[in-house]
Amino acid sequence: MIAERDFARGIFHDTFLGSPQEPVWKWADRKIFFDQKQTAQMDRYDSSVTPWVRDIQDAIRDPETKEVTGLKSSQTGLSQGALNAIAYMPEHCPGNVLYAINSKEKGSDVANIRLGPLLKKLAGSQLSEDPNDFATLTMRLKNMVVKVSGSGSASPVRETWYRVVVIDEPEDFEQLPDGSFYDLVKSRFATVADATLFVIGKPQLEATKKDPKSGIIHRCFLKGSQEHWRLPCPHCPETFVFRRDHFQYHQHQSLEGEWDLAAMEAPGGVWYKTPCCGERIDEHQKYELVKQGQWVPAELKDRMKLSNEPVAAEPGVRSFHINDYYSNWPEVTWGKLFVKWVQCTEINPNSAQREDYIKNHDGLPIAPKEIYVASETINALRGGITERITIDQINEDGTNDKITREQILGHRFGLSYNQEGKRINDLPIKPVALTISVDRQDEFYKWTVIAWSAASQSYLVDFGISNTDGQLLGLRKRPYYFEGKKYFIFGGGVDRGHKSKVIYSLCQRSIRMGWPLVPLLGWGQKHERYLTDPIEKRTTTLQNGEVMEYIRFHDHSIKIDFYSETIQRRTEPRLWMPDPVPHDIVTELTSEYWDPDLRKFVHPDGAAPNDYGDTLKMQLGVIWPVFSPLFD
C-alpha cells in the first residue's frame, strides 16, 4: 500500500521534477547528448550498447544499496554510467557529490569536458550564478555541489558530507597516512543516511589475506554480491558468462608456423563455444545477446575467495564484474582481443604483457608474486633500521586514530670478522649458541655463521670461504666475543649434495674433533607441494662399517619458508643482518626468483651463485631445528 504522503510526493515530483520512478538509464537515453569533444563514438547516450551499466547506476535510487563495486576491464562504459547518475541527481535526488580520480588530467577531463557541460545543459536552471565556479573543479548547482578531485588528497573528503562518492580507479590512489582513500571515504560514510559509494576500476593485484593493502578493487568486489552479466543461451535453457577460456579461434598458421592474424581478426575468426551446450556464438550475435543479459549474484560455491577463504557477502554491498568480451565498441572485437592475446602468449610470449591483458581486458586481478627478493628486501633485514609504520591509537573517548611514526627495528651491529679474517666487532647479543652452515663447491667451501639468541632470533655474524678441509675445520677455534667473554661455533651442517663421500669423511673428521658437523641432504621434485614437516633424521652405513647420521630436508618447503617468510615478511623469530649487509650476501640472496607461473624458484643461467642463500636457508630451516633442543 502506498502511503498518502509518498503518493503526494510522487505527484509533486512528476509535475515539477520529472518522474522519480524513471530509472537513471531511461532518463539518460532521453536526455544525454554528447558533443564531439566528448566522444567520437556516439552523439547521444544509448544504454543498449552497455546494458550492464543500467542497474549499476540505478543503485543511487535504491536505499538498500550502500556500496557498489565495478570490477571492470578497460571498455565497459562504467565511468560514463556514474557520470549519468550524477547528472540525474539535481532533478531527482539532489545531494552533494564527490567524484575522485587520482589524476589531474583525468579530473579536469571529467569536470570540464564530460560532467561540466552535461550539468550545464541538464540542470541549467539550478546552476550557481557565479560563473567562475565552473572554472574550478567545484560545480555549484542550486540544490547540490559536485566536486571533482583529481589529486587523490584526503581534504575534499574531510570538508563536507556527500550523498554520492565515486572513486574512479581506486588502484591508482596512493596510500594516505591513515589508510587508503577508500578507507577514509568509508569511515566518513558510516553516518550518512541514503549515501551511495561507487568504487569502479580495473584491477591490479589480487587481494590477499597476508597483505591488507593489496588489491583494493578486488577486495571490494569480494565482499559484495559478486554479480556477473549472465546471458540466455540461444541453444539451450541455460545461461552463461563470457570468459576468455571458452573462446575458440582457428590457429590460422601457415606451414612455416606464421600466424595469419588478419584471418583471426576477420568476422568469424574467433567465436564463443557456450559452456552449457558447446554451441557456437558469433560476434554478430553479441549485441542482441548481451542486451538480454542480467546481473546474477554468484552462487556460494562460485564466489571468488580471498586466499582460498570465502568472504561473506556484506548486506548493502553489490559488486559487479564485467570484461571486454561483452563490449560493443568497435576497437575491442573478439578478433582484435584474441590477436592481442595470441601475440603476448604464443608469438612473443611475455608475462608482463600477458598480465596487462588479463587486467585490462579480462578485468581480473593478477596473483601477487609471493616471493620477489630485491636488494631492498635484504637491506630491510638490517638491525637498527628506521621505518615509518602506521598504528592504531585508541583515544580516551574510545575512538580510533591511525597514526604514523618512525620506529627503529632491532639494533645495529657489524660482522665479527672481515674477509681477511681480522676480528672487527663483538657479537650483537649474548648467544645461546653459534652455528655454521657450509656449502661445498668444487674447490672450496662457502659458509655462514649465525649467533642465536635464547628467543631463536638469528644474527648473521660471519661468513666466508675456506679453501681446504683444514681451513674449514680450523674455524672451530675462531673466537667470538660478547662483553669480554669468548664464544665458539658449537657445530653445524654441511650440504651433502652429490659429493657424499667427501662430505661424510669431512663430517667424520670434525665429529672426532668434538665439533659436530652433520651432512644435510636436500631433496625434491620438479613440481612441489609445501610440506609442513620437511626434516627427517636418517642414517647410512659407510664403507668402513660406521653408521653415519644425516638430515634429509625437503628443499622447496624450506626455501618457501625462508624466502617468503623470513626474508620477505621478516617473520618472527627474525633473521637480522649486519649493517652494511655485505655485497656478496645481497647479490647471492637475490639471484633466485620465484616464477609464479611455474610455481617454483628459478636460478637463471649467468646469475650470481646462491650459495650463501642456501647456507642461510639451511641455518634457519634445518640446523637450528636440529640443534636447538640441545640448548633448552
Of 104 and 273, the one with the shorter C-beta distance to Zn ion is 273
Measured CA to CA, the distance from residue 45 to residue 219 in angstroms comes to: 31
Angle, helices 24-31 vs 78-92, to 10°: value is 90
Residue 533 CA to residue 558 CA, distance in Å, equals: 10
Which residues of the chain form contacts with Zn ion (CB under 5 A)? 233, 235-236, 238, 274, 276-277
CB of 233 to Zn ion, least distance (A): 3
Residue with cell 643461467: 605
The least CB distance from residue 246 to Zn ion, in Å, is: 11
- Cα–Cα distance, 69 to 72 (Å, whole number): 9
Q: Is the backbone peptide bond immediately before 573 cis, with ω within 30 degrees of 0? A: yes
Cβ at position 362, least distance to Zn ion in Å: 22
d(CA 285, CA 333): 12
- Residue of this chain nearest to Zn ion (CB atom): 233
330 prior amide bond cis, ω within 30: no
Residue with cell 510522487: 10
Sign for the pseudo-dihedral over CA of 475, 476, 477, 480: positive
Q: Least CB distance from residue 204 to Zn ion, whole Å? A: 34
* Shortest Å distance, C-beta 235 to Zn ion: 5
In this complex, which beta carbon is closest to Zn ion, that of residue 296 or of residue 531?
A: 296
CB-based contact 321:71 (threshold 8 Å): yes
Quick one: CA dihedral 230, 231, 233, 237, positive or negative? positive
Nearest to 368 by CA among 216, 227, 245, 526: 216
End-to-end CA distance of the chain: 76
Instruction: Report the candidate in 359, 362, 341, 371 with the shortest Cα–Cα distance to residue 596.
Output: 371
* Comparison of 237 and 330: residue with beta carbon closer to Zn ion: 237
Residue number with CB closer to Zn ion (195 or 281): 281
**Residue with smaller CB distance to Zn ion, 274 or 591:** 274
CB of 237 to Zn ion, least distance (A): 8
Q: Rounded to whole angstroms, how far apart are CA atoms 458 and 585? A: 15
Nearest-approach distance from CB 276 to Zn ion, in angstroms: 3
Task: Closer to Zn ion by CB, 14 or 238: give it.
Answer: 238
Residue 231 and residue 233: Cα distance in Å, rounded?
6
DSSP state of 205: B
Return the number of the residue (277 or 424) whose C-beta is nearest Zn ion. Answer: 277
Q: Which is nearer to Zn ion, 289 or 535 (CB)?
A: 289
- Closer CB to Zn ion, 236 or 542, in the complex: 236
- Which distant-in-sequence residues (6+ apart) come within 8 Å of 218 by Cβ? 71, 203, 205, 206, 207, 304, 365
CB of 289 to Zn ion, least distance (A): 12
Q: Which is nearer to Zn ion, 289 or 608 (CB)?
A: 289
Would you say 628 and 456 are in contact if contact means Cβ atoms under 8 Å apart? Answer: yes
- Cis omega (within 30 of 0) for bond into 625: no
> In the bound complex, what is the minimum distance in angstroms from residue 54's beta carbon to Zn ion?
25
CA distance 406 to 411: 14
Q: Which is nearer to Zn ion, 20 or 275 (CB)?
A: 275
Indicate the residue among 246 and 476 with the shorter CB distance to Zn ion. Answer: 246
Alpha helices (H) along 348-394: 351-357, 375-379
Q: Let me know: does 123 contact 92? Beta carbons within 8 Å.
A: no
Record the cell numbers describing residue 333, joined without a space. 572485437
| CB of residue 347 to Zn ion, shortest distance in Å | 32
Beta carbon of residue 290, minimum distance to Zn ion (angstroms, whole number): 16
Read off the C-alpha cell for 321: 564484474
Q: 159 vs 238, which CB is nearer to Zn ion? A: 238
Closest separation between CB of residue 230 and Zn ion, Å?
12
Shortest Cβ 302–Zn ion spacing (Å): 18
The 3-state DSSP class for residue 5 equals helix
Alpha carbon distance 622, 558 (integer Å) = 8
